[in-house]
């Protein structure tokens, strides 16, 4: 049986819980998964490997917690967003900005036809 220093784990929770709550709220927005339960499940997983985690640097622990939270979220029935689909192509974004600028101001916003490079007001 592994004995965990509960005082050290309490400090760990105080340090990492606020960021976990923010991430859980974002993940759970629009899903049936409760963010409080998700944070609890993630911290329960962290407790099971705490001996290993407490020797890691903050960046490694944060990365582990994010991965654990994502896995818990999926196990609880949540759907992780596809980050590749959410990021529009840069050229597409510029084209949308140009079109919107023309709608509002009736002239090109930037580019060769504007006669300048960069933004023009």
Sequence ranges of the domains in the chain: 1-106
Cα angle for residues 45, 4, 22 (degrees, 5° grid): 40
| pTM, 2 dp | 0.61
Helix (H) or strand (E) holding 92: helix 90-105
| pLDDT tens figures, 27-47 | 888 888 899 999 999 999 999
Separation CA 9–CA 50 (nearest Å): 7
**Mean per-residue pLDDT of the chain:** 79
| pLDDT tens figures, 51-66 | 898 889 999 999 999 9
* pLDDT in the model for residue 102: 73
% pLDDT > 70, the chain: 71
């Amino acid at each position: 049986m592994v004995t965990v220093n509960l005082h050290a784990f309490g400090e760990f929770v105080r340090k990492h819980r606020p960021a976990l709550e923010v991430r859980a709220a974002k993940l759970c927005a629009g899903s049936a998964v409760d963010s409080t339960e998700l944070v609890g499940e993630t911290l329960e997983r962290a407790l099971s490997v705490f001996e290993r985690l407490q020797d890691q640097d903050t960046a490694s622990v944060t990365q582990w917690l994010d991965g654990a939270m994502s896995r818990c979220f999926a196990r609880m029935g949540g759907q992780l967003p596809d980050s590749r689909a959410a990021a529009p192509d840069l050229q597409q974004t510029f084209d949308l900005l140009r079109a919107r600028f023309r709608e509002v101001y009736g002239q090109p916003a930037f580019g060769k036809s504007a006669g300048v490079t960069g933004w023009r007001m």
